[in-house]
Amino acid sequence: MKAHFNRLGIPSVLLLAGAILATGAASLASQGQSGKTLRDLQRAYVETNNNRAAFTAYAQQADKEGYTGAASLFRAAALSEEVHAKAYKRVIGALGGKVQAGITKQARVRSTYRNLEAAANLDAAYTRDILYPKFIKQAEKEQIPDAVKEFKFAKEGDAQLFVLFHDAMVNLNSLRDSKVTYYVCTVCGYTSETSEAECPDCGAGAESYREVR
């Protein structure tokens, strides 16, 4: 084989080998860096699916008890979680990972008041204050902007759900025999009580809202 020499007198084949090694090293480095955030995304995917299953079960219970307005809220919250789960799956795939088991925890269904309390304090407040701030910090460190963005959307979305769950606890009697309409942003999962012109979280247009009753 005839070696080709460039101006520096280094055979092209060696330069090529060097380039391949450098590319390999870079890809290994980026895999190592993204390892923790990939696991965080997989954990968020599972948490989100567990919450979606819980909110769906809580909606059925609320309907059974006649708190149809609370059932609407739980259905909206379940859709919000579905939006987050889809986003996590997409980012996990882009990082070369795979999603793990969908639902790992069966929801404990109690009275609607207790279910609202659990949804607010155990689910929404936990992810808003503990889980997502930790995940955001790590994803920022690893410089994975898509993960940072989705974790921030979920943190804001859960902060809003916390408020809605709390309002529903305080006004539970007004949610009996009345349907309430919620609007869930299909881009970021934010749950709104009005179909504002723009989503307050991601700025998507009103056409991105899906109505849930």
The span of 3-11, 109-117, 169-177, 197-205 binding Zn ion (CB under 5 A) equals 197-205
Q: Which is nearer to Zn ion, 58 or 88 (CB)?
A: 88
Binding status of residue 159 toward Zn ion by CB under 5 A: no
Closest approach, Cβ 108 to Zn ion, in A, equals 30
The structure tokens listed for 170 are 């305080």
Closest approach, Cβ 207 to Zn ion, in A, equals 11
Residue 205 three-state SS = strand
Closest approach, Cβ 114 to Zn ion, in A, equals 30
- Interaxial angle between packed helices 132-141 and 12-65, expressed in degrees from 0 to 180 and rounded to the nearest 10: 170
Distance CA(188)–CA(205), nearest Å, equals 12
Q: Which is nearer to Zn ion, 109 or 204 (CB)?
A: 204
What are the φ/ψ torsions at residue 49 (nearest 5 degrees)? -65, -40
Of 201, 206, 209, 212, which one interacts with Zn ion (CB under 5 A)?
201
Q: Which is nearer to Zn ion, 58 or 132 (CB)?
A: 132
Binding status of residue 184 toward Zn ion by CB under 5 A: no
Q: Which is nearer to Zn ion, 135 or 190 (CB)?
A: 190
The structure tokens listed for 26 are 């870079």
Residue 109 three-state SS = coil
Q: Which is nearer to Zn ion, 99 or 202 (CB)?
A: 202
3-state helix, strand, coil in the chain (%, to 5): 70, 5, 25
Binding status of residue 78 toward Zn ion by CB under 5 A: no
Distance CA(55)–CA(71), nearest Å, equals 9
Q: What is the dihedral of CA 182, 187, 188, 191, to 10 degrees?
A: 0
The structure tokens listed for 50 are 């567990």
Binding status of residue 190 toward Zn ion by CB under 5 A: yes
Binding status of residue 81 toward Zn ion by CB under 5 A: no
Say if CB 190 and CB 201 are below 8 A apart: yes
Of 185, 191, 209, 212, which one interacts with Zn ion (CB under 5 A)?
185
Binding status of residue 150 toward Zn ion by CB under 5 A: no
Q: Which is nearer to Zn ion, 57 or 202 (CB)?
A: 202
Residues that bind Zn ion (CB under 5 A): 185, 187-188, 190, 199, 201-202, 204
